[in-house]
A and B are shown apart, each in its own frame.
Chain A
Amino acid sequence: MTAWLVRRVAASVAIVFAVVTLTFFLLAAAPGEPLLGPDERQVDPHVRAELIRQWGLDEAPPVRYVRYLRQLARGNLGLSFSLHRPVADALAEAIPNTLLLAGAALLIDFLIGLGLGIYQALRVHRLPDVVLGNVTLFLYSVPTFWLGLILLLVFGAWLRWFPVGGMSDPILCPSVSSVYCTLDRLWHLVLPALTLGLVGAAGTARFQRAAMLEVAGQDYIRTARAKGASERRVLLRHQLRNALLSFITLFGLAFPFLLTGAVLIETIFAWPGMGRLATDAILRRDAPLVNAAVLLASVLVVAGNLLADVLVAAADPRIRVRDTT
């Protein structure tokens, strides 16, 4: 198990390094004026030249890359030229917001997805299964941003049940310092988390239904029933438990989905997270910020997958046996 883990970690580090390197050179090669502001105003050419020199953009990409790696080795992510501040500071503020959103979405995803999947499997080919199957298929097919816009329009702009974007009430809750403000933040979280979570839940439900049905046909389920185990015991101890193994894999896969989904959702809901930061940075060609955001995202994705692999290995003895032989 230890040797396997070391190999997986080493592979993960190599993947992250490759992603970082590729991103750096792709960005360097991408067209686009890096120091352009969002407003269309004339920029004095001398001032522009001075800024390019000060931000180190006049150097060749390999030189910049070496400097970037040196900085990275010292834990320095550089300075963002669109935000005029250290990249680490910007990320430190944005990451908790993205994790909050992704965490809430993950919760919705698995609570609803698992619940529906199990419910459908227990009523397979009956009306509720058919109806829910179509609903989940519809949700799974819907682009996340479209669902977000619809929820925003209906529940934010028309019905006014939820706020139209943002993370908290700017007047009453400049910071989370009371129960009211915590609830206010949750209130702001509902629509973006639902958007991300519902689309994920649709996939999880379909996956879980299939896993439950596959397990239901196994010999040990028949054996359990033959031994006189109650339906409840068969469901909880034998069917669900074994079906949940695939769920752990799904958990690992959900991470990249949530992170990539958050990029659009954070923009639509004005949620101040990493996705929105990265989108702005890409549009502004802010290489230090884009590089750092990609680095972080790749670390999270790789870590999520690694965690899922470890959990599966821990939960399923067959995987350990195969690995050690």
Chain B
Amino acid sequence: MLSAMLRPRRLVVVVAALGLVGAATACQRSAGCTGAYCGTLVFAAVGEPDILLPPSTQQVAARDIEEQLFLKLADIGLTTNTIGDEDFQPLLAERWEWDGPLTLVFHLDARARWQDGQPVTASDVAFTFDAYTDSAVASPYRANLRRVASVKARDPQTAVFRFRERYPEMFYDAVYHMRVLPAHLLRGVPRDQWKTAPFGRQPVGDGPYRFVAWRAGQTIELVADSTFFLGRPAIRRLIWRFSPDLQVAATQVAADQADGREALYTPENIARVRAAPQLTLYPYRGNAYGYLGFNLAANGDTTQPHPIFGDREVRRALTMAVDRARLIKSVFGDFAKVPPGPMSQLWWIWDPEVRQLPYDTVQARRLLAARGWRDSDGDGIRDRAGERLAFHILVPSTSQTRKQYAQLLQEQFRAVGAQVEIDEVEQSVQSERAAAGKFDAILQAWNNDPSPSSGVPQVWSHAGFRGSNFLRYDSPVFDTLVSRATRAASSKQARPLWRAAVETINADAPAIFLFAPDNVAVFHSRVVDVRLRPDSWAALLRTWRIPPDRLIDRDRVER
């Protein structure tokens, strides 16, 4: 009876509320911005930045927003070539020159201003270097700056970098890792408190956009700085809308409740947004690669070789047992490539002609048999001296892609007589176990910055034993080749060295290099001049536009 009474009333309330929403929306629509400098873009982001203070965070979510707030001295070009300085574009520095082999001089653009009106000076640059390399700040970029000896302000417009040694990526190291910070606002903050400094939640920058608001768990909003010295950004407002989940974010875009996102990751999401007529897809080179890594040391004991994977021939056999092209097709569709080695598509060393182990199950079976692994009891699983050819694959439960891969690999290994158990664990547990060497095999993925010179040694060289070389791959030949490649004077000299290094690791097979995804971004079709730099999709946002005749209601809204 009560519900019957309530029903019509509830209906009236809902209808009235929706009517009011509609009316209010109509009112909001009547006023509005017109012209070339209107437009609001809402990005459906997964995950929220921890802090907007560049030296204190490595998060991609933070980086995308910091790109708009804080400038670098110069930025890498669309080619993402990290060698030399010819492909770099001026930003805070209007020009630069080399003063001897180890000294790089930047001349700042005199028009550059902090958003509180103070000029950007060379003292800010020196202060920034000091902060990034201060152990109290514990910046994740500190290691990238280890070969820069000092940064000094020669005068207010001139910053001088001195290097410890000469190498091809000196310019890249000088400009890529640091975003210049306002010394006058941060000098008073104790360095060990930077990680929780209020500045990081209400930053003042020098970039094309100003910070407006951060609503925790909801949005971060920026507005274009109409006085930006490199030209007024065409899109007036940028809003990052945070979702805890990729599916929710993709649904918001497909339902026209957000204007886009930089990566869709799965063929299902791509198909979903492709069906939405208001959207355009933008494929671009991905910056990640994934592999099945074999622990060369015993599970939980790094002093002993692994009973299965300590044998190079067994690793080669297992690598040849995997049809990587078919796996890619099953999991990523057309939106990934088989990596020719430990590399993402972002790196300039990407070379499909590199020699790799073929997919050859006959050869794989032969190799396993030659190493004594035979199916003696006819149960379909090979064994040797009473030990079965069985191992566990560690996989993060949060990655659908890698969980799929684990199951497919399980099948392919079974076909050659290897038994696989899948251990799904949380990402944090996977990282802990990886670092402790407590695993047999691991499905791992890395996001890279544009230079192979830091990413490869950290994960695959002997020096990486203290870092991310969880597999404990140790090849002096590989290490020497990588070391020579990172010191080569030009990309022409470096390329054959990189190729030889990658062929060495491919032959040793410490891992099966499985996927290097393409990134597929999606944005509303009204946006033009969309250029996505593979290492940082939002780096060129200030040049995107919405032509006046394509503005829609949400572009015209005034605050």
The smallest C-beta distance from A268 to any residue of chain B, in angstroms, reads 7
The 8 closest A-B pairs by CB, nearest first: A272-B217, A180-B24, A32-B428, A115-B3, A115-B2, A84-B51, A33-B431, A50-B138
Complex CA gap A84/B201 in Å reads 9
| Known interface pairs A42-B467, A164-B257, A165-B252; A178-B139 also in contact (CB < 8 Å) | no
Contact of A166 among B56, B213, B218 (CB under 8 A): B218
Which residues from chain B contact A39 at a C-beta distance below 8 Å? 58-60, 447
Residue of B nearest to A180 (CB): B24
B residues 384-415 touching A (CB-CB < 8 Å): 398
Inter-chain contact total with CB atoms closer than 8 Å: 201
Complex CA gap A39/B398 in Å reads 12
**A163 sits at the interface (CB 8 A):** yes
The smallest C-beta distance from A265 to any residue of chain B, in angstroms, reads 11
**Candidate in A31, A42, A54, A279 with the most chain B CB atoms within 10 angstroms:** A42
Are the C-beta atoms of B138 and A51 separated by less than 8 Å?
yes
* A-B pairs with beta carbons under 8 Å apart, 16 shown: A31-B428, A39-B447, A44-B467, A47-B142, A79-B196, A83-B50, A84-B51, A119-B1, A171-B239, A172-B28, A180-B25, A184-B21, A187-B18, A270-B243, A280-B244, A283-B428
Complex CA gap A39/B57 in Å reads 11
B residues 428-483 touching A (CB-CB < 8 Å): 428-429, 431-433, 435, 444-447, 454-455, 458-459, 466-468
**B490 sits at the interface (CB 8 A):** no
**A239 sits at the interface (CB 8 A):** no
Complex CA gap A31/B3 in Å reads 50
**Candidate in B2, B139, B215, B557 with the most chain A CB atoms within 10 angstroms:** B2
**A209 sits at the interface (CB 8 A):** no
Complex CA gap A35/B72 in Å reads 27
**B210 sits at the interface (CB 8 A):** no
B residues 39-60 touching A (CB-CB < 8 Å): 40, 42, 47, 50-51, 56-60
| Known interface pairs A152-B251, A180-B21; A32-B138 also in contact (CB < 8 Å) | no
Which residues from chain B contact A32 at a C-beta distance below 8 Å? 426, 428-429, 431-432
Complex CA gap A51/B257 in Å reads 38
Which residues from chain A contact B213 at a C-beta distance below 8 Å? 174
Contact with A along B208-252 (1 / 0, CB 8 A): 000001011111010000000000000001010111110010011
**A285 sits at the interface (CB 8 A):** yes
| Known interface pairs A157-B255, A267-B244; A94-B217 also in contact (CB < 8 Å) | yes
Are the C-beta atoms of B3 and A90 separated by less than 8 Å?
no
Contact with B along A81-92 (1 / 0, CB 8 A): 111111000100
**B554 sits at the interface (CB 8 A):** yes
**Candidate in A38, A39, A170 with the most chain B CB atoms within 10 angstroms:** A170
**Candidate in B56, B135, B139, B288 with the most chain A CB atoms within 10 angstroms:** B135
Contact of B1 among A118, A152, A163, A268 (CB under 8 A): A118
The smallest C-beta distance from B379 to any residue of chain A, in angstroms, reads 33
The smallest C-beta distance from B412 to any residue of chain A, in angstroms, reads 24
Complex CA gap A83/B201 in Å reads 10
Are the C-beta atoms of A119 and B2 separated by less than 8 Å?
yes
A residues 125-157 touching B (CB-CB < 8 Å): 152, 156-157
Which residues from chain A contact B455 at a C-beta distance below 8 Å? 42
B residues 478-513 touching A (CB-CB < 8 Å): none
Contact with A along B3-29 (1 / 0, CB 8 A): 110100000000001101100110110
Are the C-beta atoms of B431 and A36 separated by less than 8 Å?
yes
Q: Which residues of B contact A (CB under 8 A)?
A: 1-4, 6, 17-18, 20-21, 24-25, 27-28, 40, 42, 47, 50-51, 56-61, 135-136, 138-140, 142-143, 192, 195-196, 200-201, 213, 215-219, 221, 237, 239, 241-245, 248, 251-252, 254-257, 288, 398, 426-429, 431-433, 435, 444-447, 454-455, 458-459, 466-468, 554, 557, 559
**A114 sits at the interface (CB 8 A):** yes
The smallest C-beta distance from A58 to any residue of chain B, in angstroms, reads 13
Are the C-beta atoms of B254 and A46 separated by less than 8 Å?
no
**A40 sits at the interface (CB 8 A):** yes
| Known interface pairs A171-B239, A267-B245; A46-B196 also in contact (CB < 8 Å) | no
Which residues from chain A contact B458 at a C-beta distance below 8 Å? 42
Are the C-beta atoms of B135 and A50 separated by less than 8 Å?
yes
| Known interface pairs A164-B255, A170-B42, A270-B248; A119-B4 also in contact (CB < 8 Å) | yes
Contact with B along A44-80 (1 / 0, CB 8 A): 1111001100100000000000000000000000010
A residues 14-41 touching B (CB-CB < 8 Å): 31-34, 36-41
The smallest C-beta distance from B499 to any residue of chain A, in angstroms, reads 23
Are the C-beta atoms of A187 and B17 separated by less than 8 Å?
yes
**A319 sits at the interface (CB 8 A):** no
Which residues from chain A contact B459 at a C-beta distance below 8 Å? 42
Which residues from chain B contact A172 at a C-beta distance below 8 Å? 25, 28, 554, 557
| Known interface pairs A54-B138, A270-B242; A90-B216 also in contact (CB < 8 Å) | yes
Residue of A nearest to B435 (CB): A33
**A277 sits at the interface (CB 8 A):** yes
Contact of B248 among A83, A118, A164 (CB under 8 A): A164
Which residues from chain B contact A270 at a C-beta distance below 8 Å? 242-245, 248
Known: A44-B467, A119-B4. 4 other contacts (CB 8 A): A38-B61, A41-B58, A156-B251, A166-B257
Which residues from chain A contact B2 at a C-beta distance below 8 Å? 114-115, 118-119
Are the C-beta atoms of A183 and B21 separated by less than 8 Å?
yes
Complex CA gap A164/B242 in Å reads 12
The smallest C-beta distance from A269 to any residue of chain B, in angstroms, reads 8
Are the C-beta atoms of B216 and A94 separated by less than 8 Å?
yes
Are the C-beta atoms of B248 and A268 separated by less than 8 Å?
yes
Residue of B nearest to A79 (CB): B196
Which residues from chain A contact B138 at a C-beta distance below 8 Å? 47, 50-51, 54
Which residues from chain A contact B255 at a C-beta distance below 8 Å? 156-157, 160, 164
**A168 sits at the interface (CB 8 A):** yes
Complex CA gap A43/B427 in Å reads 15
Complex CA gap A41/B446 in Å reads 6
The smallest C-beta distance from B134 to any residue of chain A, in angstroms, reads 10
Complex CA gap A14/B187 in Å reads 46
Are the C-beta atoms of B17 and A186 separated by less than 8 Å?
yes
**Candidate in A45, A164, A180 with the most chain B CB atoms within 10 angstroms:** A164
The smallest C-beta distance from B41 to any residue of chain A, in angstroms, reads 10
Complex CA gap A167/B248 in Å reads 13
**A276 sits at the interface (CB 8 A):** yes
Are the C-beta atoms of A170 and B241 separated by less than 8 Å?
yes
**A112 sits at the interface (CB 8 A):** yes
Residue of B nearest to A53 (CB): B138
Residue of A nearest to B454 (CB): A42
**A316 sits at the interface (CB 8 A):** no
**A248 sits at the interface (CB 8 A):** no
**A284 sits at the interface (CB 8 A):** yes
**Candidate in B42, B217, B447 with the most chain A CB atoms within 10 angstroms:** B217
